[in-house]
Every structure is written in C-alpha cells, then in structure tokens.
Structure 1
Amino acid sequence: MFRMEKGRRGAGLVLVALISLMALPCWAQTQPASPPEDWVGKLAGLDTPPDLDLAALRQQALDRIKSRTDPVPLKRPPVAMQLLKLPQLVAEIQFDEDAAVARPESYRVLGRIADTLTDPSLLGYKFLIIGHTASAGRRDNNLTLSQRRADVIRDVLVNTFKVSPKRLQAIGLGEEQLLDAVHPTAPINQFTQIATVGALELNPPPVVPAKPVTPAKAGTHGHKR
C-alpha cells in the first residue's frame, strides 16, 4: 500500500512538472544556454592607433628566426607586443594542411567576420589580419605560410564578401607570436586574429596643386640723355 501511494505521488510530481514546462512562454523554452560571442564589441574601443610598420615587423620576425634567437618556444617573447593591446578577436579558420587554401567549411566563419567588420559601428575603422602557426616544423616556413594564409583571408573578405580593401591589411607572424605560449603545439596557435588598428579616413582632404612659379620679367633700362 505504501509503495503504491509513493508511486502515485512520484507520477503526480512528474505530471505537475510537465504541465509547468508547457505553461512557460515559447521564448523561455527556446533561449540558448549562453549568448553568442559579441565580435563587434571585441573590436570596438580603440583608444590610440598603434604606430605599425608592417614591412619592418615582418623583417624583425625574419631576423629573429635567422639569428636563432629563443629556439625554445616557451622562452620566446611576442615579436610585436603592441598588437596584444589592441581590440581584437580570435577566429578558427581551417586551411588545407601546409597550404594556404581555406577549407569550404571556414567560409561561414569568414562570412561572420565580414558581417562584423561591416557593422555600422565599425565602418569607420581599419583592421589587421594576423596569421599564426603552431610550433612545428621550420620557423621560417611557418612564417611564410602564416603570411600566405593571412593574405588569403584578406582576399576572400575583399573579393567574396566585398569588404573594402582600404580597410584591411594582413601580416603573418608564424610561431613568433604564439596565442598559447604555454602550449606551443596547441591547435589554438593556428587561429587567426583580427585587430582594430586605426580610423579610416573616409573623406581625405583634397590635394591642392602647387601654384606655378612665374619667372620675373626683365626690367627696362632707360637711356641717359
């Protein structure tokens, strides 16, 4: 008798729970566990534009590799500390192994990046695409591969998703700026950074042509009487 009453009580509790769940509004039943990552917010808030010389930065990374400085990845400092202070996001864009060919499944991520960069609140800014690799293989090859991949991402954003080329620059830092230096071979070190680097000059001042210099006229000499 006691067991039957206990079973009935349990069934009643389940029935009440089901009725309560059905009474919830539809939006409460369909809410995701956590909101999507705010990429627009991550790229906003640039205080001071960095003074970046990308050609010099590439050469600095190459020189460090050639000099064999810091051969142990764990002891290797970032080659460009100023990039760490910028508003940025990190995205996983998959490539063919040892190649600069973006896989088809990555175009969804690239499309989301394009949507982020063309958000009205970010239209007045320029961005830097930063390619990385994990610490495996030759450092010089990784540097070259990361640059090629960063260039491919820029090309896809410009040609496929119609982001203005004036707003995008690209640089590859290989394994010279590991995203997870504690775990040099971790997959996250293959990810791509997008960083806000400055304001876009939408209406540059007009170039005023220099006025031509008019040669001085020769003077007229009078005759003495």
Structure 2
Amino acid sequence: MVSISAKTFGMMVSVATLGAAISFAGTAFAQEKNVTEDQIVRALAPEKKPLTRGLSTGPQTAVDPTVTAAETKFVERIRGRSTRSLSSAEREEIASMVKDKPKIDLEINFDYNSADISAKSLPSVQALGRALTNNEIKGSTFVVAGHTDAAGGDAYNQDLSERRADAIKRYLVDKYGINGTDLVTVGYGKSKLKNPSQPMAEVNRRVQVVNMENKSTASAK
C-alpha cells in the first residue's frame, strides 16, 4: 500500500511539473509577440558594408552594391504613391528588391474583418513608431507590407492587406510625425504566406517592415 502511494505521489509531482513547464512556455511565447524599439532598430539597421580600395592608394570609401541607380530610380517613383495605385508588376518588383534588405515581421492583429489595429497590438505599433524615428535608422525609405492568411478569396485578401498596411502608415504619420512619403505601403494578400504548409496560421497574418537603405531618396528631416 505504501509503495503504491509513493508511486502515485511521484506521478502527481511529475504531472504538476509538466503543467508548470507548459504554462511557463505559453507565457514566454505571449511575451515574444510584442517587440521592443531596440529589437526593431537592430533588425532594420543596415549591415555594415566592407570598405573597398581602388587601384589608387587613396583613402578607402564605403561602397553599397545593393543600392543601384535603377533601384534608386524605382524607389523614387513609388514614394508617395497610394497603396492601391501599385500595379501587380510593381508589387513583385518591390518583393524582389527587399529580399536582401534589413527587415522584420511584426505580428500585428486587427479587429475582425477590418483594418482597425487591435488594442493588444498597439504596443508593437508604438515600438515601430519610436524605432523609425530613432537616429540610427530614420531618414530612410521604409516599405510597409501587409499580408493575410489564406482564408477568403484573392481579391478580398488583397484589399484587406492594402487597408491594413495603410492603417499602419496612417498611425505612424499621425502619432509619430513620420513623413508619409518615406513609407511605401504595399499589400500582398495571401500570395506570400510565411508558412505555406500552414496557410491558416497566425504567422501568415503579419506586417513586414523593410529598410530600403536608400537615404538619398528620403525627404529631409
């Protein structure tokens, strides 16, 4: 009888320990959804480019091979454009250009079937606002891209992603005084799922922010 009680007690302790571990893991996961200003700044800060030396023995100069003349011209053309005015070809060109740029995916929730930012996601949007006005990265052109999960049709999700990208831009302009022309908004609907194997997963409902590393086209501050 005593040995059985001991075994039962041991099982109870093991179950309690497992339950505590699951609870702790769940708490940690919830905390990771709200990012900080510092995390965003570090994610969007341009990578330090290596210095290159020409044939002459003159001083070294920093060369940024990612910013080409064609890219600069394209970014200048789309700055200040409305989200809906971008053609599918322009959206794809943006997607191609940002592949190797500093970026961060933010899990920003919106009210159901709307572009209203949910109260629980405001801390992340506010952290983004502070980050984009941080001296380390401000003055560049940033792409704000809206993405949805796979629920619903293509047209519906395209419209929703555009409205949500616009909502983020509007908040950043109104609350943090960021120049609207420094924020290029684009919507991709459900066409670029972050996790295609789980098309309905929350991770697909996101806003991606990309630093175009192109201060020459940004407005003066």
Q: TM-score range by the shorter chain?
A: 0.5 to 0.7
- Does 2:187 correspond to 1:172? yes
TM-score, normalised to structure 2, is 0.61
Whichever residue aligns with residue 124 of structure 1, its letter is G
Find the partner of 1:110 among 100, 119, 125: 125
Q: 1:91 to 1:145 in 2, by over 3 A?
A: same
| Partner of residue 164, structure 2 | 149
Q: Is the 8 A contact 1:79 1:177 kept in 2?
A: no
- Structure 2: give runs of 5+ residues left out of the alignment: 1-31, 48-63, 79-83
Number of residues of Structure 1 aligned to a counterpart in Structure 2: 157
Kept in 2, the 8 Å contact 1:58–1:171? The answer is no
- In the alignment, structure 1 residue 59 sits paired with structure 2 residue 60: no
Q: Deviations over 1:158-208 (max 9, x none)?
A: 00222222321100001111122222111111011000114234678xxxx
3-state SS of the aligned residue for 2:141? strand
In 2, the alpha carbon distance for the partners of 1:135 and 1:81 equals 22
Paired residue type of 1:41: R
Name the stretch that deviates more: 36-45 or 106-115.
36-45
Asked if 1:133 is matched to 2:148, the reply is yes
Whether the aligned pair in 2 keeps the contact of 1:58 and 1:173 (CA below 8 Å) is: no
Over 3 Å counting, the alpha-carbon distance change for 1:125 and 1:79 in structure 2 is closer
Alpha-carbon distance between aligned partners in 2 of 1:203 and 1:132, rounded to the nearest angstrom = 27
CA shift at 1:126, angstroms? Answer: 1.1
TM superposition outliers: structure 1 runs of 4+ over 4 Å: 34-37, 50-57
Q: Does 1:41 align with 2:53?
A: no
- Point out the more displaced range, 113-122 or 51-60: 51-60
Q: Is the 8 A contact 1:125 1:167 kept in 2?
A: yes
Cα-Cα RMSD: 3.1
Measure the CA separation in 1 of the matches of 2:121 and 2:193: 21
Tell me which amino acid in the other structure corresponds to 1:193: Q
C-alpha distance after superposition, 1:3-23 (max 9, x if no partner): xxxxxxxxxxxxxxxxxxxxx
Tell me which residue corresponds to 2:20.
none
Q: Distance in 2 between matches of 1:164 and 1:80?
A: 22
Aligned partners of 2:177 and 2:44: how far apart in 1?
19
The one-letter code sitting in structure 2 at the alignment partner of 1:59 is: S
Separation in structure 2 between the aligned mates of residue 179 and residue 165 of structure 1, nearest angstrom: 27
CA distance in 1, matches of 2:125, 2:87: 24
**Contact map agreement 1:129 1:169 (CA 8 A) in 2:** yes
Distance in 1, Cα, partners of 2:39 & 2:159:
31
Q: Which has the higher helix share?
A: 2
Percent identity reads 26
- In structure 1, list runs of 5 or more residues that go unmatched: 1-33, 65-77, 205-225
Classify the secondary structure of the residue corresponding to 1:195. strand
Identify if the C-alpha distance between structure 1 residues 80 and 199 changes in structure 2 by more than 3 Å, giving closer, same or farther. closer
